[in-house]
Amino acid sequence: MWTGAQWLVLLATVALIVGLFMQPDRTLDILWFVLIPVLPATFLMNAGLWRGICPLATLNTLAPNERGATLSRAWITWSAAIGIALLFILVPARHLLFNTSGFWLAIVIAAVAVLAFVMGFFVREKGGFCNSICPVLPVEKLYGQSPLVAVRNPRCVPCTLCTSRGCLDLDPSISVRTAVGNGSGVREWIRTPFGVFAAAFPGFVFGYFQVADVPITEWMTVYGTILAWALGSLAGFALLAAILRISTFRLMPFLGALAVGVYYWYAAPASMDNFGLPGGEILKWALLAFVAFWLVRALQRARGQEAPQRPVAAHPVAPRFPLGSPPR
């Protein structure tokens, strides 16, 4: 079933690219007002639902990479920063180009697909793209840190140790804990790329909806507005966490819920209005109730993580490691 879904979604992606060339207006409406709004709620349920069928992950794992490298701890940090930077570059670019130009959006999607496929030849399984430089990965981690349903990883069976720590597919909560340094204070998580991203992301999402689609010549206004809100969010939540001594185990679920809540506050009515359908406000409040339910569950689980813990390995340790040192 998983294999069939993976190839079906890959073919749908090819159809999407063709549609962006042939019928750009209709395809853009389907992409931005139907397909993309579904993903955040899916991540809250379990990011593995999308990661199991993501077309870029399918391309990333096509290469025969049994002899590929394993992501080192240093490269994990750098690749996380690269993925976050790509996200912060590409999302504001929607207002300048991708919301209105099917041609350029198709080019970018095709280029990223080629990159995911090529990187599969150098790093084992999903380590070359999905677990490293994918710009959606930090969002998957933030929203998927406390899944509501269990989903088994359908791709990497058995685990090939493509990354030395923090694989999202093996344990979402440990993945986030590892990404923020296994620490509970501001001094620990503010030094990590993911910690900075998580604190900045609610403001980043809010800032995106404060800007309209404009010509590319207005790029400074778009990026300046969105990044200003992101920096304000980062500074505000870092200060709040320091003053109130909020542990990362409670802060990260709150940041995730706030970011997805802000997104649906604006995106749910816009999606319904775009197709001339009623019920946008009802859909918005229904989704916000779902986000609140997720937050309550996530905070309940966080109580068990607040006690001091030793760092936990992100995956089972194999008896032999012919291609590198074992994860710690």
Amino acid 266: pLDDT: 97
| Beta pairing partners, 109 | none
Amino acid 307: pLDDT: 52
Amino acid 322: pLDDT: 40
Q: How confident is the model at residue 326 (pLDDT cuts 50, 70, 90)?
A: very low
| pTM for the full predicted model | 0.88
Residue with tokens 């080019």: 107
Tokens of 223: 């990026």
Q: Rounded to an integer, what is the distance from CA 58 to the centroid of its chain? A: 17
pLDDT over 50 (residue 309):
no
Name the least confident of 53-57, 126-130, 132-136. Answer: 126-130
Amino acid 96: pLDDT: 96
Give domain limits for the chain: 2-302
Tens digit of pLDDT for each residue in 20-55?
999 999 999 999 999 999 999 999 999 999 999 999
DSSP H or E stretch at residue 143:
helix 137-143
Q: Is 240 helix (H, G, I), strand (E, B) or coil?
A: helix
Amino acid 72: pLDDT: 76
Q: What whole-number distance in Å separates Cα of residue 46 and Cα of residue 304?
A: 20
Q: What whole-number distance in Å separates Cα of residue 166 and Cα of residue 171?
A: 8
Tens digit of pLDDT for each residue in 175-184?
888 888 766 6
Q: What whole-number distance in Å separates Cα of residue 230 and Cα of residue 199?
A: 8
DSSP at 31: I
Amino acid 128: pLDDT: 84
Tokens of 217: 């010549």
Q: How confident is the model at residue 186 (pLDDT cuts 50, 70, 90)?
A: confident
Q: Which range is most confident: 55-69, 170-184, 267-281, 307-321?
A: 267-281
pLDDT over 90 (residue 135):
yes
pLDDT over 80 (residue 212):
yes
Tens digit of pLDDT for each residue in 74-117?
788 888 999 999 999 999 999 999 999 999 999 999 999 999 99
Closest CA relative to residue 142, chosen from 264, 294, 267: 294
Are the beta carbons of 40 and 263 closer than 8 angstroms? Answer: yes
